Structure 1
Amino acid sequence: IGDVHGCFDELTCLLTDLGYSAREDYSWHHPEGRKMVFVGDLVDRGPRSPEVVRLVMESIRAGSALGVPGNHDVKFMRQVFGKKVQLTHGLDKTVEQYAAWELQHPGATRQAAEFIDRLVSHYVLDGGRLVVAHAGMKESMQGRGSGGVREFALYGETTGETDEFGLPVRHNWAAEYRGAATVVYGHTPVPQPEWLNRTLDIDTGCVFGGQLSALRWPEREIISVPAQATHAEPGRPFLPADTDGGAPGLTAQQEQDQLLDLSDVMGKRGVETRLHGRVTVPAENAAAALELMSRFALDPRWLIYLPPTMSPCGTSQEEGLLEHPAEAFAYFQQAGVARVICEEKHMGSRAVVIVCQDAAAARRTFGVEEDAGAGVCYTRTGRRFFDDDALETAFLDEVRNAVTRAGLWEELRTDWLCLDCELMPWSAKAQELIRRQYAPVGAAAAATLSDAEEALARAAAWLPNPEITALHERTAARRRMAADYTAACRRYCWPVRSVSDLKLAPFHLLAGQGETYVSRPHDWHMAMLARLEGGIVMATAHQTVDLSDPGSMAAGIRWWEELTARGGEGMVVKPMDFITTGTRGLVQPAVKCRGREYLRIIYGPEYTLPENLNRLRSRGLQKKRSLALREFSLGIESLERFARREPLRRVHEAVFGVLALESEPVDPRL
């Protein structure tokens, strides 16, 4: 709870909103046993300092609160103990209020001073994850006790200069903070609670007509109540002037994030993740990622997530097939998963779409300029998907309109969303790759094999011979395979002349304002995203499979066979829970099961020849699956860090990690 400064009425309103209630001994308690932690400056300037001190003192005595002293509290204490202090900055009001209070509560003034004298300089809470001090606490001082530590906790650090208001200029220690613990402090009033580098200034100037704020931990939820009056005028203005509806200003964190530091993403790094422990990023991989990001990536302020790679299912022994749903089901059965969801796999390009309700929401959340638009679409390597600004704007308008029609802004209480999608056609992004790599293979094979087949047919007719006949049949089969390869490629290509020629299939609703949605099951994601269907947005066909029911699994296999028979790429099989942990740790978030004809694009036209298929069946999946788990963990980590309002450098540590791991030597066909 931020600096109260004698604002007793606002404090009781805030505590009521937080779920606390008063007892006869004046202490306040929460029904769930939560504790209040006061950051100091209980007294001065406000109208009811004695009541505030009594509430805090009795709550601490009852075990329902903790508190640290503020500089105003210490000055009041010194005055009571007979030290020579000036009755300025509101201390005169506190002395006057206690003089009147003594008439009904003899000895209360001395009792309050002794209570303040017993308070410790700062607290380290929640296993070292949370530090509370009045004016802040450097990482090197946390948990230590000395005169210097107490001095910093009370006053922070000043430069020795004074500003135009005659007040000391404070050194911005929070701008340099790199500690692992979150530091919550007050002392310097700000219009809104201000996050910066895992620190939070919670003093929102209630006594000056602002508001009284609290941070609920570990939820990181901020609750505020407005001041009931302006009880004092600040020495330095801190409330923003009326902007007449102009663009919102940047937060302190967004201001600092304008300049990124190479040292935050270079060299060998160990990135701590919630899901998979420490993920190591080799220095050479980090250098490759930095090169790619520096040359090709979009504005890094949008870059909050990169999607992970995905492993295929185990290799099938079914005749003529390399992949089959039975192997996907078997993997999840062995991991102890009861239900999976099978989602149609669209042959497009992976796309991350961030769509904001308007440009103001984009500026508030991502700190981008007013002309940066209200969203972005980028590839799995962080490049902007569209080179044409007008096409991107029209595309984002389509997505935004779909979200608005579905009512998701209101339902999810957000003004932005991050979606993981497939964007079609494949040729929309891979045109150059198709022209230089895939199309020449089909054209060359068709030309040479057609001529060879024709020549062998003439030879067989002129000179019947078993070897010539066999070679002719083999060449004819190869020519048909080449034709199947070309047909498979063409199925995923069509011209894009306007936004209406695009198709977007979202399959993950990743994050919105202040939260990620990775705790929701996949059927929730499918249901929410199906509501966006219309225009260019299409729903992803899916089917749930009960892995304890052979009939359900057989139905899932038939569904895959029907999908692939009509030219579909295949399906992705996922455990129903977005994040699933088995007996051996984190389970693959998804495995892909691709169709026979689609795999011609991946392995080449003739991969179905028995000798080729037998060789491919020896492919190893261990490296790919390890890579998929590490990238998935980093992707979730980056989203959660962004949702917690962590510095952009912390978000990018995980984002760059995903891209860096893509440099690992893993068979790209898997």
Structure 2
Amino acid sequence: MTNNHDSDTSTAAGAAPRTLPVPDLSLVVLVGASGSGKSTFARRHFKPTEIVSSDFCRGLVADDENDQSASGDAFDVLHYIAGKRLAAGRLTVVDATSVQSESRKQLVRLAREHDVLPVAVVLDLPEEVCLARNAARPDRADMPRHVVQRHRRELRRSLRGLEREGFRKVHILRTEEEAESAEVVLERRYNDLRHLTGPFDIIGDIHGCRSELDTLLGKLGYVDGAHPEGRTAVFVGDLVDRGPDSPGVLRRVMSMVAAGTALCVPGNHENKLGRYLAGRKVQRTHGLAETIEQLEREDAEHPEFRQRVREFIDGLVSHYVLDGGDLVVCHAGLPEKYHGRTSGRVRSHALYGDTTGETDEFGLPVRYPWAEEYRGRAAVVYGHTPVPATSWINNTICLDTGVVFGGRMTALRWPERELVDVPAEKVWYEPARPLSTEAPGGREGRPLDLADVRGRRVVETRHMGRIAVREENAAAALEVMSRFAVDPRLLPYLPPTMAPTATSREDGFLEHPAEAFAQYAADGVERVVCEEKHMGSRAVALVCRDAAAATARFGTDGPAGALYTRTGRPFLDDQALTGGVL
């Protein structure tokens, strides 16, 4: 968007100042000839730490801000500093002439690498103003006129093409009065809703299942789309396709969003429907044909509805950062480096996720397991890939439990982290791939894989942070568990084991209290209370209501629970006795 005033326009006395909107996380590039007032403008509107000046970088590498022979190294430093600031999520302002398209191209590329918007602020001031300002500076008093003239020629050739170069906003100031009276206003990014703290009810993929949606909203406590306690519903997308009433789902969600009782992010199915409604050529597959047919039936009674749907989809934001940054909601999951960022790459990942490039036995793409590598502070709640049962993985959770395929529709209460779901009324659409498989872990939607125990892995823990598990330790544990443990599906918990003391230096002893007390002292423990220990064995009991409950929850075929030791081995050898105890 270009914010432009003609060259013969000046700000009259008392006239309202120019307002220059700038996203609060962006790369602002000041463009103008030497002497146009870029540095003055930067100091007036931005923090000193936000400004990266080519003159300052030139001084860093050459001890002389005017040493043009050091420009190459100076811009290497400038790009490095700007990149580090953008990576950290900080507004960055580049103070350089930037009148040449090649220099701007590098800055636009830098903004795209860090998924922020590039903004150009152009100071296209008259030649005589630039010359007078340079003459007033001792370090530039002898600058030839032709240098300023060349800068202005290069700038003039570039003005019309700045948006084509990739700048999302272009602000042009043509007079001293405009430059001096302009006000920079930082705009909150559309995806930044950190000020909204909930509580929220985050609802997984719906796929046209209007009846199940109404049932779930009722179970969550909503009445006519509003919650009596002021809770806000958040929809993770894929509202449409495959199910029996996509228009009904859209009407319900659109009305809640318009009333301020809900938020919604787009799914890949809304994205495709939006392209169809815009007249683009798309394949009518994966349930789109059914949605189109349902919308055509709506046209006769509500001809304006189709346009309202198109406008609604066009206005959806790829993801939201909520609750002070503790919660991120998107459709297909989002690594931490993309949270709060704005680019086509971020939107694509939020809509479609990432794949390994492979296809499974059903011909479907294999999703890249990004959640297993996630170590971010914010909880990420998403959908997109149906799972038979939802569970937390590294502070992420998938809420698509395949309602349209005969599974369930699931919601997450936040911040309670409580799951609420309702069953599908029927199988509305046959899945191309079964929701669950018989492979270990298949009931949870994540079958075990050789890679789980091959190579070094990092596990995120609640109290001990990140713990590395070496391949040899994982292989040894797999060997022991496969030989001696109870069914791993019945091992939801293994109690912690006290670490042994260091090997004793006393002759004839493997362990000795002296090493234990020495370790306590080294750890700052001043007093140790010793008690006699009963040498009995601890048992962990997993008790289910009956065998049917165990089968429904854990996928086992047999006992109504388990009784095992701290290492996962059966506590009793007699299965009948174990059953009696349980």
- TM-score normalized by the length of structure 2: 0.49
Higher share in helix: 1
- Say which structure, 1 or 2, has more relative contact order (CA 8 Å, 6+ apart): 1
TM-score, structure 1 normalization: 0.43
